[in-house]
Amino acid sequence: MMIFFKERLALLSVPKTGTTAFQAALRDRADLVISDPPELKHAPLYRYNRWIRPMFEKVCGAELEVAAVMREPISWLGSWYRYRQRPALDGKPNSTKGVSFEDFLHGYCKGKPPACANVGSQAKFLEAQPNGCKVSHLFRYEDQQALKLFLELRLGTEIQLERKNVSPQADLALSPGAEAHVRRKRAAEFELYSSIPSR
């Protein structure tokens, strides 16, 4: 998460959406950077609303707009699947070694996903709060240029991006039936992604 106070902007870090590259590029430009631990770096909107927003509202009398990125849901799940293939997780419950992508997706759709497929929800991460706190600027991961242009204009600075935190390669073959299952069981993810305007 990054805060740009003068510009009244908070940029959330949805996992697996490339925000680490933006954080690296804008670290020196931001007023507040939360890069560790992951629970705070990747704080969802409800956590921002509970802890970060009140700090600026009560101390500074300022309300910040919130920006975030969402990745196409199957691509997002594929990135998680590949990330959990890395050797550091070998033998651990959240490793996807020896698990097919389809089995990973079926696990993700269960009421209580197995550890390897327990990766959360982008829709829940970005869910508007009862007090009106919401994401004002939502971008598609697949359109990095739109986010880059938005931030350059808003912050008045040029951004040079480098690829960061890239997941290893893996087979992401998927049958039409498995894709239909995910779309049915996790419809909210696809509905939110489809609602993001093309820029």
The residue type found at 76 is W
pLDDT tens figures, 56-96: 999 999 999 999 999 999 999 999 999 999 999 999 999 99
Residue 56's pLDDT is 96
2-195: what fold?
Answer: Rossmann fold (3.40.50)
pLDDT tens figures, 129-166: 999 999 999 999 999 999 999 999 999 999 998 876 66
Instruction: Say if residue 168's pLDDT is above 70.
Output: no
Q: Is the pTM of this model over 0.85?
A: yes
Which residues, at least 6 apart from 108, have a Cβ–Cβ distance to it below 8 Å?
77, 117, 119, 182, 186
What six digits make up the tokens of 104? 């990973």
Q: How many CB atoms lie within 10 A of CB 49?
A: 20
Q: Determine the Cα–Cα distance for residues 142 and 123; give it in Å rounded to an integer.
A: 17
Nearest to 167 by CA among 100, 94, 77: 77
